[in-house]
Structure 1
Amino acid sequence: MMKACTAADIMEKVFISAHTDTSVFDLVHYFVKSKISAIPIVDDDQVLVGIVTDADLLYKKIKPHVPHYVNLLGASIYYNGIGKYHKGFKKLMACTAGDMMTKDVIIAAPEADVEQLAGVMVAEHLKVIPIVKNNRIVGIVTRYHILDELYKEFGEE
């Protein structure tokens, strides 16, 4: 390996971000259509204020609202009421990125060493690390970017 690879070398410079008032419905659309696992949430000056992951949407809000049911003589009996589930889902869709986002985001500078990034991602179970310079988000590094870099590095040996 010649010089240490940095976040700036491997980061995605074109990425989807959203504002705190972006609806969960729109976030889900971005996740599905773009096949991404996290969306940085920024203010009007592109300053990072939080992040929403696909897991945030699946676990934080939907999981408690999954209807409980029993199978009785081949028929599903919902004892929490299927209506309650639909209401819960409707309520989720009415939420915004600001309601869902994680505010304490682990970030890195463009100069951060890729090996260190990989270590933090593993230790903290992160799929994405936003890359921030002068308080503004300039890129994102995902597990894919790290794996791709490892693949290239070992392919050269």
Structure 2
Amino acid sequence: MKTAQDIMTREAITVLADDSVQKVGELLLSSGHHSLPVVDGDGHLVGMIGERDLIDAHRKVHLPTMLTILDGLIPLGGMHEYEEELRKVTAVTAGQLATARVISVAPEEDVDAVAEKLLRKDVHAVPVVDSSGLLLGIISRSDILRHLLKP
């Protein structure tokens, strides 16, 4: 049975957490990837950043509806969404914009389980990390397809 480390791309294109959002956008466009791992200076995974994050960073922030009671403002739902929108539009580095809660896989994980994660979570790629969070590689949907079509 094949594992994640058997099919992963070992030399993943990455961005550093301190890289500018502009640089990330340029790298995404030039690489043809939908998302990229964000790493710290030691190569540990910090998050993932993708096309959707960059598009969100350039959208207008929608203020939540507020209710005034006794001179106090009470937000009517959507505060978490508002805070997330605000975080993205104010981000200037990859680390600030990246999604920190990343679906990742271990190198010994079965390829079928990796494929299931990609499809179930509707992501284009998953980073392969060791137990300390060091990025070892990345597996995209294309890597899974290549594996399935290999004789």
| Structure 1 residues 1-157: aligned runs within 5 Å | 4-58=1-55, 60-64=56-60, 95-133=92-130, 134-152=132-150, 156=151
- In the aligned structure 2, how far is the partner of 1:24 from the partner of 1:48? 17
> Could you say what the CA RMSD is over the residues aligned between the two structures, in angstroms?
1.9
Contact 2:91 2:97 in 1 (8 A): no
- In the aligned structure 2, how far is the partner of 1:30 from the partner of 1:130? 17
- Structure 2 spans left out of the alignment, 5+ residues: 62-87
**Bigger Cα Rg:** 1
Once the two structures are superposed, what CA deviation does each residue of 1:128-153 show, in whole Å capped at 9, x if it has no partner? 1100013200100000000111111x
Q: Which amino acid aligns with 1:35?
A: G
Q: State TM-score, norm by structure 2.
A: 0.75
- Between stretches 141-150 and 32-41, larger displacement belongs to 32-41
- In the aligned structure 1, how far is the partner of 2:90 from the partner of 2:148? 38
- In the aligned structure 1, how far is the partner of 2:91 from the partner of 2:117? 33
SS at match of 2:16: coil
Contact 2:59 2:89 in 1 (8 A): no
Contact 1:130 1:141 in 2 (8 A): yes
SS at match of 1:27: helix
- In the aligned structure 2, how far is the partner of 1:36 from the partner of 1:109? 21
The answer to which structure has the higher helix fraction is 1
Q: State TM-score, norm by structure 1.
A: 0.73
- Structure 1 spans left out of the alignment, 5+ residues: 66-90
